[in-house]
């Protein structure tokens, strides 16, 4: 519980972060930049879990645990994504999104 800050303001913050992440995901042309935007999205959701836990249900700890899991999963996913990007770079020597359009009509 932060003194003086209502839950609404924190939610506003996380929503803005979330949508900035989405904007970046859809707009960026580099695969690694897309990965970075994905991190923003995940972090925004983690903050949401924690805040709801602290403000609305202070007796239990589920929100914290879930955020820990989110962080763990995000780490695993980033590692794998980087491995795939490296492998892809070896095949096509590029990390641009426009070079990965093979699966189209």
Partner 1 sequence: MDISYILFIPLIPLAVFLLLGIGYQKIQPSVSGYIGVAGMATSAALSYYAAYQYFFASGKVDGVYQTFVEKTVWMNFTDTLHIDMGILVDPISIMMLVVVTTISLMVHIYSRGYMDGDKGYTKFFAFLSLFSFSMLGLVLATNLFQIYIFWELVGVSSYLLIGYYYTKTSAVAAAKKAFIVTRFADFGFLIGILIVGYYAGTFDFETLNAVNAEGEGLLLNWASTSFMGLSVITWGLILIFMGGAGKSAMFPLHIWLPDAMEGPTPVSALIHAATMVVAGVYLVARLFPMYYFVEGGYALNIVAYVGGFSSLFAAVIALTQTDIKRVLAFSTMSQIGYMMLALGVSSYKGHEGVGYMASMFHLFTHAMFKALLFLGAGSVIHAVHSNYLKDMGGLRKYMPITNITFLIAALAIAGVPPFAGFWSKDEILVAAFEKNQLLYFVVLFVAGLTAFYMFRLYFGIFWGKDTKYHHPPHESPMSMAFPLLFLALMSMVAGFIPFSKFVTADKVGFEAHLNLPLAAVAVGTGLTGIIIAWIFYKKENDLAEKFANAFGMFYKWTYHKFYFDEIYMFVTKKIIFNLVSAPIAKFDKKYVDGTMEGIGNKTVIISEKIKGLQSGRLQDYAMFFVSGVVVVALVFIYLWT
Partner 2 sequence: MEKVIFYILALIMIVSAIASVSSRKMLRSVIYLLFTLIGVAGIYFLIDYNFLAAVQLTVYAGGIIVLVIFSVLLVHHIEMELEMAQLSKKILTGIACLIGLGLFLFTIYTNDFKVVENSKTTTVEDIGRGLLSYDAGGFILPFEVISILLLAAMIGAIIIGKGDKLTKNDETL
Q: Which positions from 44 through 63 interact with partner 2, judged by CB under 8 A? A: 46-47, 50-51, 54-58, 60-62
Q: Are 28 and 34 in contact (CB under 8 A)?
A: yes
CB 61 within 8 A of CB 53: yes
Query: 30 phi and psi, to 5 degrees?
Result: -110, 140
Can you tell me whether residue 30 is helix, strand or coil? strand
Tally of CB atoms within 10 A around 28: 15
Smallest distance, partner 1 to C-beta of residue 34, A = 8
Confirm or reject binding of residue 105 to partner 1 (CB under 8 A): yes
87 belongs to the binding site for partner 1 (CB under 8 A)? no
Partner from partner 1, partner 2, none contacting 101, C-beta within 5 to 8 A by type: partner 1
Residues that bind partner 1 (CB under 8 A): 22, 25-28, 34, 97-98, 100-105
């Amino acid at each position: 519980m932060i003194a003086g800050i209502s839950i609404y303001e924190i939610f506003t913050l996380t929503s803005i972060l979330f949508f900035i992440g989405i904007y970046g995901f859809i707009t960026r042309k580099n695969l690694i930049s897309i990965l970075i935007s994905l991190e923003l999205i995940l972090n925004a959701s983690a903050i949401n879990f924690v805040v709801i836990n602290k403000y609305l249900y202070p007796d239990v700890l589920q929100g914290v645990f879930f955020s820990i899991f989110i962080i763990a999963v995000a780490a695993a996913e980033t590692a794998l994504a980087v491995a795939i990007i490296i492998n892809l770079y070896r095949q096509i020597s590029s990390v641009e999104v426009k070079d990965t359009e093979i699966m189209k009509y």
